[in-house]
Amino acid sequence: MTRSKSLTMRWALAASAATSLVTGAAAAQETPATRDQVARDAGGSDEEIIVTAQRREQALIEVPQSISVVSGATLEGQQADSFADYLKLVPGLQLDESRQGQARLIIRGVNTEGVASTVGVYMDETPFGSSSGLVNAAVLAGDFDTFDLDRIEVLRGPQGTFYGASSLSGVLKFVTRAPSTDRIEVRTRAGIETSDGGDASYRGNLVVNIPLSDSVAFRASGTYRREGGFIDSIGTGGSDVDKNINDAEIYGGRASLLIKPSETFNLRLTAVAQNIKADAASLVESDPDTLDTLYGRLTQAQFVPTFSDLRYRVYNATGTLDLGFGELTSSTSYATQKQKLQTDYSFALSPLIEALLGVPNEFFQAQRTDSKKFTQELRLSGESKVADWLVGAYYTSEDGLILQDFIAATPGSTTPIAGLPLIGFARVESDYREIAVFADVTWHLTDRFEIDVGGRYSSNKQKAHQLTDGILVGGANDFGNIRSKEDVFTYSVAPRFALSDDASIYARIAKGFRPGGPNVLPPGAPAEFGSYDSDSVISYEAGLKMQSADRVFGLDIALFHIDWKDIQLLATQDGFNFNANGGGAKVDGAELSARINPTPGLSLSVNGAYTNARLTTDTEIGGLDGDRLPFTPKFSASLNADYKWAVGNDATARIGGSLRHVSSQSGSFDTAFRTENGRQRRVEAYDVIDLRAGVDFGRFSVDAFVRNLGNSHGRTSTTGTDVFGGFPLYPGGAIGTGVIRPRTFGMSLGAEF
């Protein structure tokens, strides 16, 4: 979709370089089936790099906002299967994670650890995860496996115009590879890893592409990963003695059918299934003041085995029809996310239950979380020399369910003790309905100056019904149906000026929001706690995108300021959590991506972000005016270097490495710690070094790698020292901190037929 042939070719070169700013030389690590994609990433082709950030196809450099694109070739070359593996490739993206599948994405520091998401996650055209604050969407971001992806797009800054609710700070899109009618393709990969002090990990992947005719093609891929555990339970406080309790198993696949009967119409049907089964969280017992690891090793006191069984299902039908004057796109999706979760509260609550009921016990919480989401979107877009335009309508219907059961079990088992009264039970059913209309116009005022203006009006209605019972909540409570309704307008304005054929500057003002709604209520809560309000951000951004004419050098810089109002928080009353609003916050920052290819085969890149995110008012959860927002380092940066060269006539060798630095951060807000110490917990800075090497023999390839060469114990999350209003969660007053995987050596083999 181009408006000017001469400008298109020039922008194609710039777009290729802009993508390389993020992927760096890592994109040079091709596998056989991704050779063409790698050539584009490394600047080896005049073909445009196309993104769909603004819900239509555009050259990357023509989009007036900060976007990172990580190619599928880069992901596979760096063995990057999940969020934690490709953080170093995206400036301004952070992760608060304690277990596989339980991850909170943070973009540009917009984070106060509420339960509703601030980052929208898309699988192609499908929005994944709930828009409401009642289904734990923030900590259940869709961590889809990256094998056989075309690319990942990360849009930084609010995306209220095109993506609506819960894209408060940005969007992460998984873009899968479409079926191809060109040829049959079979590609496979297998690998094994070993981590310091842990069990072995292994993986296998397979993709098949089959042209069924000149107009129909089918593509399917499957993946399996076994992640070995590396944390032990060593009997602290009477806990179990067990090794490597935090293992995980991830498996699933994608299938897609492309039907293109004519040049004016195509239909793509896609199904995605992924299961993430993770045992204990990757939390280690740490000193509550210094966060130093206790007992000289990575340990976690386990009394009752814990687990999370998470299942993603995504079904989508997307059709496009060329009407001549414009293109009509219809996307119909149905997605589900289901989790079974078991959490050990034995050390905290077993003594209380024994005191109340007179029976020795081990105590745990069993939880079920279900989210079902139907969406329908229609878009009509067109372009001319004067303007590119898009109008659309959107509808979503979501059903959510959370069930919690608190169980006293016979010690050494998970068998409930017979004859006890009901201890604790909660059921929350929720409904979320939203309709929206949106429009965007890019006016080409001159050959070099254009302005993009967009707006979205959305209306949502919500309903929730909560039931609780048991001795921990004071008996049976039926809170009845709680309803809410909200109308919101979001917008974006973004002028862009081409300084030359290879450089442009832009500015952007945009608003994003996150819905409020009915609340989860603690026993005896006053009526005003029945609902909470939406929060919103207004972002101001300016940026520069440029490259040298020969594509040897590229640079992408963005400066931004964010005003965040009515921030949503997870407040606590008598040990029970509920949603609340808590004043405001501000974020100031800068992001940089740079790439240089000084000699043939050698590529160097750097990504960096400075983020100053802090509260501007006191909150109810221990955060005070001036406190830094949780898990947002002021400075983060990564360096990537890769080199490839011919070995004989038929083989290509490659070596590379990455260094990622994360400066000190603030841990989770903690009222008691803040009161006692006059500050929030400080999470120390850490560095991670990754190395990689491989040889491509044509149809076959072999790779070896080491992650976290220095065996850093970087922290990814912190818990409080107590639960339910004062009961210690770990023996000895320890705090739980998430840690990255220790030093890991691995090898993989690939083949294409």
Average pLDDT of 580-597? 93
Q: Under a CB-based contact definition with an 8 Å cutoff, are residues 272 and 252 in contact?
A: yes
User: Taking 80 as the threshold, does the pLDDT of residue 27 lie above it?
Assistant: no
Task: Output the pLDDT for position 142.
Answer: 94
Q: What percent of the chain has pLDDT over 70?
A: 93
511 beta partners: 538
Q: What is the DSSP string of 589-636?
A: EEEEEEEEEEETTEEEEEEEEEEEEEESS--TTS--TTPBPTT--SEE
Task: Output the pLDDT for position 484.
Answer: 94
Of residues 573 and 23, more confidently modeled: 573
CA dist., res. 377 & res. 615, Å (int) = 36
CA dist., res. 48 & res. 69, Å (int) = 13
Average pLDDT of 145-155? 94
User: Taking 90 as the threshold, does the pLDDT of residue 347 lie above it?
Assistant: yes
User: Taking 70 as the threshold, does the pLDDT of residue 24 lie above it?
Assistant: no
Band the pLDDT of 623: cuts 50, 70, 90: confident
CA dist., res. 237 & res. 235, Å (int) = 6
Q: What percent of the chain has pLDDT over 90?
A: 76
Cα-based distances in Å from 562 to 17, 78, 110, 538, 589:
28, 33, 9, 6, 9
Tell me, what DSSP letter sits at residue 19? Answer: H
Helix (H, G, I), strand (E, B) or coil at 227: strand
Write the single-letter amino acid at 164: G
From 1, 50, 63, 8, select the one nearest 454 (Cα to Cα).
63
Task: Output the pLDDT for position 548.
Answer: 87
Tell me, what DSSP letter sits at residue 534? Answer: -
| Alpha helix ranges (H) inside 1-103 | 5-23, 35-41, 72-77
Kindly report the CATH class assigned to 5-752.
mainly beta
Band the pLDDT of 216: cuts 50, 70, 90: very high
Helix (H, G, I), strand (E, B) or coil at 63: coil
605 beta partners: 595, 640
Band the pLDDT of 725: cuts 50, 70, 90: low
Phi-psi group of 20: left, alpha or beta (phi > 0 → left; psi -120 to 50 → alpha; rest → beta): alpha
CA dist., res. 38 & res. 84, Å (int) = 22
Phi/psi for 74 (5° steps) reads -65, -45
Q: Under a CB-based contact definition with an 8 Å cutoff, are residues 507 and 478 in contact?
A: no
User: Taking 80 as the threshold, does the pLDDT of residue 354 lie above it?
Assistant: yes
CA dist., res. 653 & res. 96, Å (int) = 36
Average pLDDT of 533-556? 92
User: Taking 80 as the threshold, does the pLDDT of residue 621 lie above it?
Assistant: no
User: Taking 70 as the threshold, does the pLDDT of residue 33 lie above it?
Assistant: no
Band the pLDDT of 25: cuts 50, 70, 90: very low
User: Taking 70 as the threshold, does the pLDDT of residue 5 lie above it?
Assistant: no
Average pLDDT of 522-541? 87
CA dist., res. 364 & res. 305, Å (int) = 9
Q: Do the bridges between strand 602-615 and strand 682-683 make them parallel or antiparallel, or are there none, so unpaired? A: unpaired
Cα-based distances in Å from 436 to 418, 433, 456, 495, 593:
51, 10, 7, 25, 35
Task: Output the pLDDT for position 170.
Answer: 95
pLDDT digits (tens, 9 = 90+) for 373-402: 999 999 999 999 999 999 999 999 999 999
CA torsion through residues 401, 407, 411, 416, sign: negative
CA dist., res. 222 & res. 209, Å (int) = 12
Task: Output the pLDDT for position 134.
Answer: 93
Task: Output the pLDDT for position 257.
Answer: 98
CA dist., res. 112 & res. 619, Å (int) = 10
CA dist., res. 17 & res. 45, Å (int) = 11
From 103, 96, 113, select the one nearest 621 (Cα to Cα).
113
Cβ-Cβ contacts under 8 Å for 550 (sequence gap 6 or more): none
**Half-sphere exposure at residue 258, Cβ-oriented, CA atoms within 13 angstroms:** 19
User: Taking 90 as the threshold, does the pLDDT of residue 169 lie above it?
Assistant: yes
pLDDT digits (tens, 9 = 90+) for 416-454: 999 999 999 999 999 999 999 999 999 999 999 999 999
From 518, 532, 423, select the one nearest 472 (Cα to Cα).
423
Cβ-Cβ contacts under 8 Å for 743 (sequence gap 6 or more): 195, 196, 706, 707, 708, 709, 710, 711
Q: Under a CB-based contact definition with an 8 Å cutoff, are residues 78 and 26 in contact?
A: yes
User: Taking 80 as the threshold, does the pLDDT of residue 702 lie above it?
Assistant: yes
Cα-based distances in Å from 215 to 179, 219, 256, 259, 318:
11, 14, 14, 6, 16
Average pLDDT of 28-54? 46
User: Taking 50 as the threshold, does the pLDDT of residue 10 lie above it?
Assistant: no
E strands, 74-128, in order: 93-99, 102-107, 119-123, 126-128
Cβ-Cβ contacts under 8 Å for 657 (sequence gap 6 or more): 640, 641, 642, 689, 690, 691, 692
CA dist., res. 746 & res. 705, Å (int) = 5
Task: Output the pLDDT for position 52.
Answer: 84
pLDDT digits (tens, 9 = 90+) for 98-114: 899 999 999 999 998 88
Helix (H, G, I), strand (E, B) or coil at 221: strand
CA dist., res. 81 & res. 66, Å (int) = 24
User: Taking 80 as the threshold, does the pLDDT of residue 735 lie above it?
Assistant: yes
Q: Under a CB-based contact definition with an 8 Å cutoff, are residues 424 and 473 in contact?
A: yes
Model's pTM, two decimal places?
A: 0.91
Cβ-Cβ contacts under 8 Å for 649 (sequence gap 6 or more): none
> Exposed e or buried b for every residue in 586-621, given b needs 16+ CB within 10 A?
bbbbbbbbbbbbeeebebbbbbbbbbbbbbeeebbb
Task: Output the pLDDT for position 2.
Answer: 36
CA dist., res. 711 & res. 715, Å (int) = 12
Six token digits for residue 704: 């070896």
Q: Under a CB-based contact definition with an 8 Å cutoff, are residues 652 and 642 in contact?
A: no
Six token digits for residue 61: 């450099």
* Rg of the chain on CA atoms, in Å: 26
Q: Under a CB-based contact definition with an 8 Å cutoff, are residues 702 and 687 in contact?
A: no
User: Taking 50 as the threshold, does the pLDDT of residue 228 lie above it?
Assistant: yes
Band the pLDDT of 49: cuts 50, 70, 90: low
CA dist., res. 1 & res. 50, Å (int) = 10
Write the single-letter amino acid at 191: G
Cα-based distances in Å from 170 to 63, 67, 120, 179:
15, 10, 6, 28
Six token digits for residue 666: 């603030």
Band the pLDDT of 191: cuts 50, 70, 90: very high
Highest mean pLDDT (candidates 8-12, 61-65, 527-531): 61-65
User: Taking 90 as the threshold, does the pLDDT of residue 307 lie above it?
Assistant: yes
Domain residue ranges of the chain, discontinuous segments joined by +: 5-752
